[in-house]
Amino acid sequence: MPVSPKQARTLKHRSWVAFLVLPPIVFMSLFVVYPILSAFAYAFYEWRGLARGEFVGLANFREVLFGATMAPVVWNAFSHNVQTLIALMIIQNGGGFLLAWLLYKEPFGFRFHRVAVFVPVVLSTIIVGFLWKLFLNPNFGLVNQALLAVGLDFLARPWLGDSATALGALILANAWHFIGFPTLVYLAGMQRIPSDIIEAARLDGTSEWQLLKTIIWPLVAPSTTILFTLLFIGAFNWFEIPYVMAGLDGSPYGNTDVLGLVFYRTAFGNQSASIQNFGQGSALATLIFLFIVVFASMLTLWLRRREIQF
């Protein structure tokens, strides 16, 4: 059948589009989609050591969620992730909101502070973890030395070695590291609010607190959506700070254990026990992934409903 010039042009156009789109699709499939799908698939196989074993159905999932060995560790770690989420929501995002408000009011030296608050965010997590490990050192650490210097030595303790304070210390180190991010996002959100609206609220008689609660907070809802969602994902993927500061076992005695560490130990091996269970590790990773996707989507949808347009 003869091809009309118009058809020929369309064909040429389509080939051109295919030529442009195909390489990235192949690349993504090979290096992103395939590994994810295979990790998902591994969750259904017995796999210890080097080669994949036999198909075991949901056994790995059962062991991770309800098994006598894995489940207590997993649920203990999960509870720490939840505690971290709640604490960081308040300290990191809440603190970021208040810092943003202080910067928004442009106090003396606000330009310096606006940069200063973001500097830790740029640092590598490994460096921040190491830095805080030094600060919190029971003998020569800055924190205990400072307490000693001001006569509060009864408060000094081995922060990272005490089960009561270890997780809290990691959370605070993380908040110190990342608080600049919510601060800047909230600051940008606040600067988006037309100044007339804030002036109108002042004329209407708002106190500082009422202004924050009834005007600013609802109007920075888009910032809240993104920050809360990112923090939710971050809290359940938490790994670096606990790994650097508390080690792979979540010491002391699993008091800082989080899902990321459990996954790493299970899949890639525990130095002390040299166990490698790729099947169970994949099952745990799949569960973490599904949990994050489902709850992060719900959270986003719920938060989006609060957003308004100017």
Per CB under 8 A, residues contacting other proteins are 194, 196-197, 199-206, 210, 214-215, 218-219, 221, 308-310
> Are residues 264 and 283 in contact, defined by beta-carbon separation less than 8 angstroms?
no
- Which residue, 5 or 205, is less far from other proteins as judged by CB? 205
Task: Name the minimum Å distance from CB 211 to other proteins.
Answer: 10
Angle between helices 221-236 and 70-88 (to 10 degrees): 150
Nearer to other proteins, 50 or 203 (CB): 203
Integer angstrom CA distances of residue 309 from 47, 185, 214, 222: 52, 17, 16, 10
Least separation in angstroms between residue 94's CB and other proteins is 20
Nearer to other proteins, 38 or 210 (CB): 210
Q: What separation in angstroms does the CA of 45 have from each of 31, 93, 268? A: 21, 40, 16
Is the Cβ of residue 124 or residue 210 nearer to other proteins in the bound state? 210
Task: Please answer whether residues 92 and 174 qualify as being in contact, where contact means their C-beta atoms are separated by less than 8 angstroms.
Answer: yes
- Give the span between the Cα atoms of 15 and 49, in whole angstroms: 46
In angstroms, give the least distance from the CB of 275 to other proteins: 54
Compute the least distance from the CB of residue 208 to other proteins, in Å: 11
Please, what is the minimum distance in Å from the beta carbon of residue 186 to other proteins?
16
Q: Dihedral sign for Cα 236, 239, 242, 246, please.
A: positive
Angle at CA of residue 28, ends 22 and 31, nearest 5°: 135
Q: What gap in Å lies between CA 264 and CA 233, rounded to an integer?
A: 17
CB of 203 to other proteins, least distance (A): 5
